[in-house]
Amino acid sequence: MHENLQEVSAPRAILVGLDTGEYDAEISMQELSALAETAGCEVLRCVIQPRSNPEAATCIGSGKLEEVKALTEALEADMLIFDTELTGIQLRNLTDATDCRIIDRTMLILDIFAGRARTAEGKVQVSLAQYKYRLSRLTGSGTALSRLGGGIGTRGPGETKLETDRRHIRTRISTLEHALKEMEKHRKFLGIRRKKDGILTAAIVGYTNAGKSTLFNMLTDAGVLAENKLFATLDVTARALELPDGRTVLLSDTVGLIRRLPHHLVEAFRSTLEETAQADLILHVLDASEPDIRERMQITQDLLNDLGCAEIPQIHVLNKADLVDLNQHNEPDTVWISAKNGTGTDELLRAICAHLPQTAKRMRLCIPYAEGGFLQLLREEGKLFSEEYTADGTLVDIMVDVKRQKKAAEYEVKPE
């Protein structure tokens, strides 16, 4: 359904942004450039106009629009990518004025997500976000959407009657929402089952390109795609991780975050993101080499708070430690690692053990043969590492559930 990114010839793009003082326009444009390159664009030039507010009809002022039009012709650009969300009227007017393909920040991010989704749920979530975005752009967009052509901004639902048939789009939205609700029910059932079975869970969250997937692969050998690109992985992946204390935790890698993440995407992916609120521990991965690390940390933290994760224990995992001076930083609940080089793994695993609820404990027991029923119960509930038959009873090295630890302590073998 989706075109392969490698099969699309690289469009030549000019980036256009507004500096309203609401956020750092320079940093935002750098991020837009990275997004464009991730989508397969060749970025020719970045243009920023200082304005107190966007121009209602064309986003940028008439003088800047003429400048951008001339630049487009001079550089033979294929498209203009705006670092803001355009209205249907702005999209139509800009297309008419420049006779050029127009993409906004939201369309670009949706396009990247469409190319990255692999699971059925991921594809449904992205398609839902795309349809909702296009439905909101039908009024006033005229022929703008139909003139997008192939490539960037057009992956996903397609470009046939979507632009004019509201009823068709609403029907598709309803169908996708129903499918998503069924998937949510299944996921919630699995979550309840995990809690009932006492399975510990930890979620890796953080800004996109912070190294979450590289860390996930380092800890679990999951083989998840890890590239130096924004949103290299989209679908949530979960793998079992055995900890040094003998316990096992189900570790999940979630979608990366970004400044001004389109609300259509946040809404579509909320059910997936809300799974983080059910985790026993959050690993908040940060790129230690980023100058704006504090802002990126806050963006992620704000979303976690919105999802109701404020009370969940959290470890700040500062990745790319090989690129910074570690002597400058010493904060609580923080672990320094290099997921690429594999350094800091032992310290991180110890921190995970310390922050997870103590649901089970590894114990060395000598259980009398008369207590065979209790031993069988321990085997069923916990993980058995070794078992040896002695004159005094069965000697076991085993994980003991918290509710059995008081009785198990009667048979504990103290180290010599």
pTM exceeding 0.75? no
Other beta carbons less than 10 A from residue 273's beta carbon? 21
Rounded to 10°, the helix 105-116/263-273 angle is 40
Q: Going residue by residue through the chain (416 aa), what tens digit of pLDDT does each one get?
A: 444 444 446 889 999 999 998 888 998 899 899 889 888 899 999 999 999 999 999 999 999 999 999 999 999 999 999 999 898 899 999 999 998 999 999 888 888 888 777 778 778 888 888 888 888 777 545 444 544 445 566 555 555 454 557 788 888 899 998 998 888 788 777 777 777 667 888 988 888 778 888 888 888 875 554 555 555 444 567 788 888 888 888 888 876 777 777 776 777 667 667 778 888 999 999 988 888 888 888 888 888 888 788 888 999 999 988 877 665 555 678 899 988 888 888 999 999 988 988 878 888 999 999 999 999 999 888 888 899 999 999 999 998 888 888 899 999 988 76
Both 213 and 161 in one domain: the answer is no
Q: Is residue 194 part of a domain?
A: no
Both 341 and 379 in one domain: the answer is no
- Choose the final residue of a domain: 125, 150, 166: 166
* Whether 81 contacts 13, CB under 8 Å: yes
Both 249 and 390 in one domain: the answer is no
Alpha-carbon span 63 to 80, nearest angstrom:
16
- Tell me what the pLDDT averaged over the chain comes to: 81
Both 365 and 350 in one domain: the answer is no
* Whether 364 contacts 396, CB under 8 Å: yes
Both 93 and 237 in one domain: the answer is no
Q: Which residues of 158-186 are buried (b: 16+ CB within 10 A; e: fewer)?
A: ebeebbeeeeebeebbeebeebbeebbee
Read off the pLDDT of residues 330-350 as tens digits, 9 standing for 90 and up: 567 889 998 888 888 899 999
Both 333 and 266 in one domain: the answer is yes
- Choose the final residue of a domain: 119, 149, 166: 166
Q: Count how many residues are written for the chain.
A: 416
How many CA atoms, within 13 angstroms, populate the side-chain half-sphere of residue 298?
A: 5
For tokens 């976000």, name the residue: 129
Q: Is residue 79 part of a domain?
A: yes
* Whether 393 contacts 368, CB under 8 Å: yes
Q: Is residue 406 part of a domain?
A: yes
Q: Is residue 261 part of a domain?
A: yes
Would you state the pLDDT for residue 162?
Answer: 45
Q: Is residue 171 part of a domain?
A: no
Would you state the pLDDT for residue 101?
Answer: 92
Q: Which two tokens stand for residue 207?
A: 């800004």
Alpha-carbon span 340 to 344, nearest angstrom:
11
Would you state the pLDDT for residue 131?
Answer: 87
Q: Which residues lie below 8 Å from residue 110, measured CB to CB, with a gap of 6+?
A: 126, 129, 130, 133, 153, 156, 262, 264, 265
Alpha-carbon span 200 to 313, nearest angstrom:
13
Strands 360-367 and 42-50: unpaired
Q: CATH number, domain at 112?
A: 3.40.50.11060
Q: Is residue 179 part of a domain?
A: no
Both 287 and 374 in one domain: the answer is no
Among 311, 349, 309, 358, CA closest to 200: 358
* Structural domain of 272: 199-355
Residue type, 320: K
